[in-house]
Amino acid sequence: MRLFTAILIITLMTSSNAVLSQEAIPYTITLGNQPSNVGRCAVNLKIDGIGDIDIVASAPNYVVNFSVPANQNKNHLVKVKGTIKWGVPPNNAPACAVNGEILINQLILDEWKPIKEKIAGSESLRCINFGFAKMNATFDGPATAEKIFLRPSDGITKKIFETCDQLLVEPLKKNISCDLVDSKTKSFCDEDYYSTVNPNRKLKLQEALNAALDGQQIKRGLWETTSAQASRAEQRRQQEEEQMKITKQREEREAWLKTAEGRKFVADEEARRKKAEEQQLRAEAAKKAELEKQRAEEKAKEALLRQQCEKMKNWASDSRELIAKAFKTSVSSISLIRFEMGRYSCLAIVDTPKGPEKCSVRGILQDKKSGEYYADMGGPFAIQAVCGGLAF
């Protein structure tokens, strides 16, 4: 919260409508409401230890400005009483409706009142109190005739305000994610102040303010939270405990392996390992033999298919019809040119109205009497032959 707005209002109020020497300390008394038909009125101020002064106050607030010599600036008692100012208009005035007394410190407290109300309960007020304690000064509390409060416009007060504004420009961040420089790990940190004189020492608000008022440069830094430190310490403890447990188990096992029981266990384990290894080798050899057998059978099957395909001279009786349906043409326009081996199957090279085309042989049949092979172009339940781009 910026504090100078309030200060400027007070300063303007205490200095308006008055011509004051550099050696005089200005003060203001606001008389408040006066009879409605009075536009201006006069009062007599009797300042204890200094003397009397007559002053004319004007509507609407009827503010009385006076000053006290700097060398006599104490907690004087000021008696205020309405008095008639005689003279020729407009230099005359009736008596103000007032008769009382007030201490100088009370006037200063009145200057502080709007500021304190504005920042009540805030960090700004705490900071100001810390600053006054540092300067061994006060703006309220018990007063004597010799002890006078600091005012909002005093140089010391302004310095405290300026320093607090710099420190409290924004709230300190709490429990935010941060990278720890030393351990290069992530954790959670709180923001605090530090002085460039000793960057490793975090400062609370009062310490930071005191250092700043002493002329040190104050910055903000991150420090790991207590809970995060405790969490990391607990994690390290658990890790160390687990490592100790593992080490103990390893040492106990190594000691056991040196016993008769342990040596027998090792021998049995080695025997089981060798047996499992032999079984695996046998299984791999059997699998390899089976794959070689399958490849040999596939080659024999392919060789037989090729031999049968090359020997074939004709096809089944319904072949022309199936091929004609595949090409959407008449049966009479279809004729066999030859059979040849394709990439995966036996193919019939067929003469069609569009020229030679390929059709897949779905099965190779053999006449029991003649022993000749002939092609089945459709297979069971076929509607048409497989021809064109689908034949390979």
Per-position DSSP letters for 37-53, written without gaps between them: T-SEEEEEEEETTTEEE
Q: Is residue 327 part of a domain?
A: yes
Q: Is residue 138 part of a domain?
A: no
Q: Compute the 3-state secondary structure of the chain and give helix, strand, coil in percent, each to the nearest 5.
A: 40, 25, 30
Cα 20 from chain centroid (whole Å) = 56
Q: Is residue 156 part of a domain?
A: no
Q: Is residue 207 part of a domain?
A: no
Mapped onto helix, strand or coil, the DSSP state of residue 181 is: coil
In angstroms, what CA-CA distances link 307 with 57, 212, 297, 365?
134, 104, 15, 13
Q: Is residue 158 part of a domain?
A: no
Tens place of pLDDT per residue across the chain (392 aa): 333 323 323 332 333 333 333 478 899 999 888 886 778 899 999 999 899 999 999 988 899 999 999 888 888 899 999 999 998 877 889 999 999 999 988 888 888 889 888 988 888 989 998 998 888 887 776 666 667 788 888 888 899 999 999 999 999 999 999 888 776 788 999 999 999 999 999 999 999 999 999 999 999 999 999 999 899 889 889 999 999 999 999 999 999 989 999 899 999 999 999 999 999 999 999 999 999 999 999 888 888 888 888 888 899 888 889 989 989 999 999 999 999 988 888 999 999 998 999 999 988 888 888 888 888 888 778 888 899 888 77
Q: Tell me the whole-structure pTM to 2 decimals.
A: 0.51
- In this structure, what are the phi and psi dihedrals at residue 64, rounded to the nearest 5 degrees? -110, 120
Query: For residues 68 and 78, what is the distance between their CA atoms, to the nearest angstrom?
Result: 11
Q: Is residue 55 part of a domain?
A: yes
Percent of the chain having pLDDT more than 70?
A: 92
Write out the DSSP string of 91-116: S-BPBPS-EEEEEHHHHHHHHHHHHH
Which of residues 110, 127, 159 is at a domain's end? 110
What integer pLDDT is reported at residue 3 of this predicted model?
A: 38
Q: Is residue 272 part of a domain?
A: no
Q: Is residue 47 part of a domain?
A: yes
Beta bridge partners of 55: 43
Residues spanned by the domain of 366: 312-390
Which of residues 82, 110, 138 is at a domain's end? 110
Please tell me the total count of domains within the chain. Answer: 2
Cα-based angle 381, 383, 386 (whole degrees, multiple of 5): 105
Which of residues 92, 110, 128 is at a domain's end? 110
What integer pLDDT is reported at residue 82 of this predicted model?
A: 93
